[in-house]
Amino acid sequence: MGRTLDAIPDDLAAWIAEQPVFFVATAPRDPAGHVNLSPKGLDGTFAVLGPRRVAYLDLTGSGAETIAHLRDDGRITVLFCAFSGRPRICRLHGRGTVHLPGSEAFDALAPRFGDLPGRRAVIDVAVERVSTSCGFGVPLMELVGPRDDLLAWAERKGHDGLVAYRATRNATSIDGLPAYPAR
């Protein structure tokens, strides 16, 4: 059933790489602030970098809660669950760092994910706790395929349109925390 681990073993890293979707949970320091839970799932946007380090490519979206929360508090949980095959859930608890384009860390990590349109940051997680559980209650579902809507939207916006969008829609969190800087 469930296990708690200090690091991500190779077999779990391989299983994580097979999952088509993951979820990211963050919260601000202020207990009155909103907890955020975001689904992610474009192929090749998540990487296990080592037994205690993971990262994912953050793409422009309707909000920037994760970025705001990581800057405010740093706590993050990444969840994977099997929707096909054997049931399994994995949670990676840690501290996240936001690396923006043009920073040394972004430039070092970004090649792992490709040059996708709309990329706005790499989220780098120092994993402090790994836990697995059964996942018996997670339904079996069939993957039809990836959605290209987000990438197509970013392509249509273009560089200048994305900069303007981020300045108006990603500058602050729903709780008013600073999120994505205008560039």
183 located within any domain: no
pLDDT of residue 1: 64
**Do residues 83 and 37 touch, judged by C-beta distance below 8 A?**
no
The parent domain of residue 35 ranges over: 3-169
Look up the CATH number of the domain holding residue 20.
2.30.110.10
- The secondary element (H helix, E strand) that includes residue 133 is strand 119-133
The sign of the torsion formed by the CA atoms of 76, 7, 14, 90 equals: negative
- Distance, C-alpha 39 to centroid of its chain: 8
Which pTM value belongs to this model? 0.96
What's the confidence (pLDDT) of residue 2? 85
Structural domain count, the chain? 1
Instruction: Please check whether residue 93 lies inside any domain of the structure.
Output: yes
Per residue of the chain (183 residues), give pLDDT as tens. Answer: 689 999 999 999 999 999 999 999 999 999 999 999 999 999 999 999 999 999 999 999 999 999 999 999 999 999 999 999 999 999 999 999 999 999 999 999 999 998 999 999 999 999 999 999 999 999 999 999 999 999 999 999 999 999 999 999 999 999 999 999 854
**Which residues are CB-neighbours of 124 under 8 A, at least 6 positions away?**
49, 53, 55, 96, 97, 98, 99, 105, 109
Cα→Cα distances 118→2, 49, 61, 62, 154, Å: 37, 23, 8, 12, 5
Residue 178 belongs to a domain? no
Kindly state whether residue 175 falls inside one of the protein's structural domains: no
The whole-angstrom separation of Cα 140 and Cα 159 is 39
Provide the β-strand partners of residue 58.
Answer: 121
Is 151 within a domain? yes
Give a yes or no: residue 177 inside a domain. Answer: no
Does residue 108 lie in a domain region? yes
Tell me if 48 sits within 8 A of 102, measured CB to CB: no
Inside any domain, residue 181 = no
Alpha-carbon torsion (174, 176, 178, 180), positive or negative? positive
Q: Are 165 and 120 in contact (CB under 8 A)?
A: no
